[in-house]
Structure 1
Amino acid sequence: MAPYGAKTDTLLPVMTLAFLFSLLTITLAVPVKREKRNYDPEEIYYMNGDIRCLRCPPGNMVLRPCTIEDTESTCAPCLPGHTFSEHLTGMSSCLPCTVCRADEEEVSPCTITKNAKCQCKKGTYCPPGAPCEVCQKCTTRCPPDLVIQTPCNSTSDAQCGPPETAIDTTAIIVPVVLVILTILVAVVIWFCRKKCSGNAGSRLIPKILTVSFKRDETPTGDTETPFLQVPKLHFKENITENEKNEVIAKTFNIFVDQVPNGEFQKFVRELGLNDNEIERAKDDNKGTYDKNYAMLQLLHQDKKFDVNIWLKNLCDIKKKKVAQDIADKLITDGLFERTT
C-alpha cells in the first residue's frame, strides 16, 4: 500500500486539470455580453437551418447555434494575436490574422476585432489600388536638372521636378520703397504747413510734389515681355531611315529632360496617350526618367512622330518657353533644321 503522501502527489495534478477544463467549458458556454449598438435587423440574425439566431458580437465566433427562434447563440472569443472577427458574425470560426511579409513592417497588431495592418518598409513602396505582391524600391536620384520634390513613402514613389526658383525680391522691394516715399512726402507736406510761413511754404510744396511724381514714373517699355517664337522644324535632307530613328531617340531624351515632370502626363495625354497606357509605362519601368521615356515610345508606336505637333502641344498647355528651348536645342545639336 502506497504511503499517504504519495497518493496525494498523484491525485493533485489530475484534480487541477479537471478543475481548469470545467472552468474553461463554463466560460465558453456563457453568452457573451453584447455591445449596445443600433444594428440593422438584417445584420444581427443568421439562419441555423430553419431557426433564426442572433449573431455573435465582433471579436467572437459561434460556439453553439441557438435552438430557439431569435435567441442568442453561445459565443466564444477569438484567439488574440491569431484570429479575429471585425463584425457581427454567424461563423463557427474566426478569421486568421494577416502576417506581414518580409519586405513589410507591421503598423498595427492584430486584435480579436481588427486585422493586422502592414505597410512597405522604409525605402520601398506599393502604389494604392494595385495588388501589392512585392514592395518596389523608391527612386533615389532624379534625371539631370531635376530634384526630388515629393519624397517616397509607403504608397507612392518619389516625384521629381524642376528646382524651385528664388523669390524675385524686386517685386517686393519696389512697392515697399514707393510706400515709404509716399509717407515721407506726406510728412514733409504736413511739416511745411505747420512750420513754413507765408509764400515760402506754398512755393516749397509744389516742388516736393513734382519730385515725388517724377520718382513714381516708370518707363512703359521696361515692363514689356519679349515675344517668343517657336520655329518650325524638319529632318535634314537625304537622311536615312536608321539616322531618322536615331534622331527621334535623341529627341525623346531632350523632351524628357526639358518638359517639367509635373506637366509630363498632361503633355502626353494631350498627344493622345490614354490613362491605361500611362499606367502601363509607369508599372513596367523604374525611375521617373525611364517612365516618361516609355510614354513617348508608346506615342511613337504608329511611327507618326511629328516634332512640330509636339512643340505646338507644349504651347497649348502654356509651356511656350519650354517649347522654344527644346526647338533651339534640337537645331543646335544638329538634329533638325529650321523650316524657312
Structure 2
Amino acid sequence: MRYIIFLVLLLLNISHLDLSWAQGSIKNRSSRDVSCRESLEYEHGDICCLNCPAGTYVKTACVTASEKGECKTCEFDTFTEHENGLQKCLSCTMCRIDQETTEKCTITQNTKCKCKQGSFCLPDQACEVCKKCSRCKEDEETVKGCTHISNTVCRKRSSSGSSISVTFIVVPIIAMLACILSIVYWTKSKPSKGAVTSRSPREMVKICMGDSEEVIEERQNDQNSKIDDDSQLQPFLEQNYAERELSRRLVPLNGEESLKKTLDFFEEMDVHYHNRFFRFIGLSDNSIKSTDSLFPEDRVYELLKIWMEKEGLKADFNSLIEALVYLGQRLSAENIVTKAISNGYFKYEDE
C-alpha cells in the first residue's frame, strides 16, 4: 500500500512539471513571434511601435501595434541623429584639449572635432590623442604637407643634385676669396716712392735724395690713370662690403650645408615680424600664405627652405641677417650669428 501511494505522488509531480514547461514554452514562443521592422519600429512588450524622429526620444510607448507613442524633443546638449526607440537622448561629445570644434552639437547631430594645426589623427584609427606632425629631415623634401587627418609625406633628395649644387656654391666662393686676397696682396705690395703728393695734380712732386734735389714733373694723365684704377676697383668693393649693417661678414665652413643647418636658429625671430621679413627677402604672398596652417617655428623653417630653393646659388646667410637688422631685430640677428659661429657652421671672413 505504501508503494502505491509513492507512485501516485510521483506521477502528480511529473504532470505538474510538464504543465509548467508547456506554459513557459507557449509564453516564450509568443515573445519570439514579435518581429519589428528594422529602422522603422521598436519592440515594446509584445507589440511593435513606430520610431520617434531624429532629434526626439520616446517619452511614452504606444499601446497599439504599429502606432507612434509620445515623442519628446531632446534637451540642450543632447541629440539623436536617426529615427529611434530610445528612452532618452544621447549626450553631446566635448572636443579634447588637443582638438578644435568644427561643428557644434545640435539635437540631430553630435559635435564634430578635428586635431589642431600641427597635429593629426588617421581616419582609420581610434583617435585617442592627436599626434604631432613630422618635419622632413635636412636630406629630405616635403611631398605633401601635414593635415588634420594625415602626416607629412617626405622623400629623399637626389644625391647627385645635391653634390652638383654644393659644387656650384663652393667654387664661386673660393674664386671670390682668391680675388679678394689677390687685391689685398697687390695693394700692400705696391712699391712706395716716399713721395709727397701735392694737393693740385698739376703741381710737381719733389723727391729728396741725399744732398741733391731732383724735380720730377708728373703729367695730369698719370694722375688720371691712378684715379681710373681706383674707379675700376670700387664697384667690386661696394658689391661685397657696402651697405652692410653688420660690421663683419660671415663665410660658410661647409658650403650649402652650413646655411641649411642654421635655418632652425631663425625660430627665435619675433612672430609679429614673420610676414614682413619673408616679403623683404623676396617671397611671394602666396608662398607665405601656403604655410599658415603650420606652427610658427615649422613655418619659419619651411619658408626659409622655399627661399633657398628660389635663390639657388645666391642664397646668402648674410642677407638674412641684414634683413633682420633692417627690420629692427638686431638682438635676434646677434643671437643667430652667435649660434652659427659657436656651432662651427660659419666664421668671420677676416679671421
| Bigger radius of gyration | 2
TM interval, shorter chain, is: 0.3 to 0.5
Q: Normalized against structure 2, the TM-score is what?
A: 0.34
Q: Normalized against structure 1, the TM-score is what?
A: 0.35
